[in-house]
Amino acid sequence: MKTKFEKVALPYATDALEPVMSKRTIEFHYGKHHQAYVDNLNRLAAGTKFENADLITVVKESDGAIFNNAGQVYNHDLFFTSFKKGGGGEPTGALAKAIKEQFGSFEQFKEQFNAAGVALFGSGWVWLAKDANGKLSIEKEGGAGNPITKGLTPILGFDVWEHAYYLDFQNRRGDHLKELWNIIDWETIGKRYA
């Protein structure tokens, strides 16, 4: 029996992603914001049919406050496991091929992805997702939204809530999104596509 929802362990030190993502941003974003979603979910799910459900089931089947917090736990687990010290570069293998087929080139994909993130009004997420046939798409979602609720599989998500970048970039969301590509762990992202 599952006891509690928990957040994913960080696969790197809190200062490993500097200067793109500062230790202070990780301490607040992972340490406080992500933790608050976990704590809220545990409190809200207690005594409901979701109390012992796995996280993806909660994301698929809940709504309202439970969905908002479950979605954010899932989204941040995926987000914080997308980076590594000395990351960046380009994807390889099947994911590289699919990106080229869908977007023309890796550069064009990044441009479209960044543009979607900048254009998203308010708080939310920009996603790279795949469908059942492996076809890729860029999805914009407000709030805690993610591609799972559309029957798609999330491959990569950038958090465009201000709490993700305000300490390091203030209002410059576009600059933050451009820098994130320099810390991506493409080996991990590639496994999500495979």
- Residues at the interface with Mn ion (CB under 5 A): 159, 161, 164
Q: Which residue is nearest to Mn ion (CB)?
A: 159
Contact 17, 83 (CB under 8 A): yes
| Whole-angstrom distance, CA of residue 142 vs CA of residue 129 | 15
Nearer to Mn ion, 29 or 130 (CB): 29
CB of 107 to Mn ion, least distance (A): 27
DSSP state of 12: S
CB of 158 to Mn ion, least distance (A): 10
Nearer to Mn ion, 21 or 164 (CB): 164
DSSP state of 186: H
Nearer to Mn ion, 159 or 185 (CB): 159
Sheet holding 124-130, edge to edge: 136-142, 124-130, 153-159
Which structure tokens are listed for 154? 């999330």
**Amino acid letter for position 133:** N
| Whole-angstrom distance, CA of residue 154 vs CA of residue 152 | 6
CB of 4 to Mn ion, least distance (A): 20
Nearer to Mn ion, 103 or 158 (CB): 158
Nearer to Mn ion, 24 or 100 (CB): 24
DSSP state of 7: P
Q: 130 forms bridges with which residues in the sheet?
A: 136, 153
CB of 68 to Mn ion, least distance (A): 12
CB of 46 to Mn ion, least distance (A): 23
